[in-house]
Structure 1
Amino acid sequence: MPARKSVSGRKPSARLLLAAEVARLREESGKSLGQLADETTYDRTYLHKLETGVRIGSPEVIAALDKVYGTGERLVMLWELAREDVFPDKYKRFMELEATATVRYEYSAATVPGLLQTEAYMREQLLTARPRDDDELDEPVAARLSRREVLTRDAPVDLRVILDEAVLRRPMIDPTDWRDQLTHLLSMTERPTVTLQVLPFAPGLQHLLGGSLTILWQPDGSSAAYLESSAHGELVENAADVEHLRLSYDRLRDSALSPRESVALIRRMMEDSTP
């Protein structure tokens, strides 16, 4: 039997497939939006946005719908596909490599890397883009949080992070949220697969200052790098160029505090931030 063609001639996006399935399940169940809101504890307006594809929602609300409809994890699996629509196309190749990487090096000059951010940190940073409503903010936050699974899976990625001292000198608006973020950094260093170092101001200028760098090693030994500024990102897969960036990273690490000294510095900063 030939494959069914869409009316428009284009493949439907995972976002629209998720929305259609959520709407179909409610229609088959005979439930009203009000009843569904009572059973899931989520606002009916929010649920309507899921059914129309305006929002893909968070994994929590999708899991709640799976439970109500008795669909196992079918909706959650669709959400995993739909979340990719949240990120720009140019970022998706990086996400593919990120998911399969066994070793990951990161350097950040300005902000806490996404894998080490608390939800409050994510929200404060994304708020500067001035979203129209909370729903618009929830979607990228949920997508970012889901990327942290590489740290908790059965074979977690070996993560090595260098934070510029400037990252630790730019606190959040709420002092409590900032202490929670610093506490989270310290808790992450207790994981055997996470190494954190701080690059102090004292060594002076460095080649990579002004942006961030991620290097991903794959199981077959190949590697790729991702350079990112506040407005642009570039995926580098040429072996010679990646090697050049790795050497720059190594020089940063040579100038950085040791993991133990870095933890001590973060602890001192927490003490200094205590009211």
Structure 2
Amino acid sequence: MTFKPQQLTPYHSARHYFGAEQRRHREAARLSLVQLAEILNSSKSTLARVETAELMPPPDLPAQLDAAFGTDKHFHGLYELAKREAHPDQYRRFMDFEAQAEVIETYDPQVVSGLLQTREYANAQLSLQEELAREQTEELVNARMSRQDRLRSAQPPLRWSIIDEAVLRRPFGGAACMHKQLAQLLEQVDTPDSKVQVMPFSAGPYYLMGGSLHLLALPNGSTLAYEEGIEVGHLYEDRDSAELIQQAMEDYKSCDTPPS
């Protein structure tokens, strides 16, 4: 039986347009999905699902397609538009401001902030939403990881993150996942671009325990706040955060952690 490719709807959304453009350039180069998958070291299934907009393009795919087809930053630009569609409407405006911010300050009492998460930790957290299919979870993980692209740029924003000790003690995804996540946190405790501080249990209860808070300092001098489940309160003094993270990492060392 002859295979007939599924009809595309390129103007339905940026994600659909990305998939349609991938197919257009692939067919212009006279490549099958299998051949393109071999060139990109990807899988035929992933590329097929991207073309039909069933899957959000993985973060590394746009650069690979631009390199394979010689399209400069064509697919990069499409991806920048498409990745926003994975987030709820009310969150997209915050993402726009986050992408512009020169300084990003976050407070999180329950989980590691999205900008600091490893892929494994993000997957463990987002998988808790039982109503999401595996493909939807994968899209959200990819979208969350894409927010971190700017942190690896030539001019990353300054970051100051305060987390509750509960974040270190509550395991997500098993011991290996937590050990890798805490190791990544430890690397960012005190660098030219980032500071991570921990509010220890010994500090007792405090007003901001109810929810997370994000403060964004924009190039125009204005500051925007994004909060979830709390009212704006106070930040607190510095703590011996590196030591607390290292102590928590010891609790997850009993497992056989895979090499990073």
- When normalised by structure 1's length, the TM-score is 0.81
Letter in 1 for 2:165: E
- Deviation at residue 12 of structure 1 after TM alignment: 4.4
Aligned residue number for residue 56 of structure 1: 56
Q: Which residue of 1 aligns with 2:92?
A: 92
Aligned to 1:136: 136
Q: State whether residues 19 and 56 of structure 1, in contact with CA within 8 Å, keep that contact through their aligned partners in structure 2.
A: no
* Aligned equivalents of 2:36, 2:153: Cα separation in 1: 32
What SS does structure 1 have at the residue aligned with 2:210? coil
Instruction: Work out the percentage of aligned pairs sharing the same amino acid.
Output: 37
Any unmatched runs of 5+ in structure 2? 1-8, 255-260
Rounded to whole Å, the distance in 1 between the matches of 2:224 and 2:177 is 34
CA contact (8 A) 1:103 1:217 kept: yes
Output aligned runs, 1:20-35, within 5 Å. Answer: 20-35=20-35
Q: What does 1:1-275 align with in structure 2 at a 5 Å threshold? A: 12-130=12-130, 131-133=132-134, 135-229=135-229, 245=232, 248-250=233-235, 253-254=236-237, 257-258=238-239, 261-275=240-254
1:165 & 1:226 partners in 2: Cα distance? 22
Structure with more helix by fraction = 1
Contact kept? 2:121, 2:172, Cα under 8 Å: yes
CA contact (8 A) 1:107 1:249 kept: no
Task: Return the alpha-carbon distance in structure 2 between the equivalents of residues 269 and 34 of structure 1.
Answer: 45
d(CA) in 2 for partners of 1:18 and 1:206? 47
Give the Å deviation of 1:117. Answer: 0.8
Q: How many residue pairs were aligned?
A: 244
Q: Distance in 1 between matches of 2:185 and 2:166?
A: 15
> 2:197 aligns to what SS in structure 1?
strand
User: CA, structure 1 residues 38+104, in 2 after alignment: closer, same or farther (shift >3 Å)?
Assistant: closer
| Cα displacement (A) at 1:137 | 3.2
- CA positional deviation for 1:56: 2.5
Counterpart secondary structure, 2:129: coil
Give 1:238's aligned residue.
Answer: none
d(CA) in 2 for partners of 1:50 and 1:270? 38
CA distance in 2, matches of 1:154, 1:167: 30
CA 1:228–1:33: 2 relative to 1, 3 Å:
same
Q: Which amino acid letter does the alignment assign opposite residue 84 of structure 1?
A: R
In 2, Cα distance between the equivalents of 1:126 and 1:101?
Answer: 25
Work out whether residues 176 and 252 of structure 2, in 8 Å CA contact, stay in contact via their aligned partners in 1.
Answer: no
Cα RMSD, aligned residues only: 2.2
Question: Which ranges in structure 1 are unaligned for 5 or more consecutive residues?
Answer: 1-7, 235-243
Residues 105 and 215 of structure 1 are in contact (CA less than 8 Å); yes or no, is this contact kept in structure 2? Answer: yes
* CA distance 1:46–1:150, change in 2 (3 Å): closer
Aligned-residue offset at 1:102: 1.4
SS state of the match for residue 219, structure 2?
coil
Q: Secondary structure at the residue paired with 1:221?
A: coil
Deviation string 1:60-89 (CA, Å, 9 cap, x unpaired) is: 223322232222331122111110111111
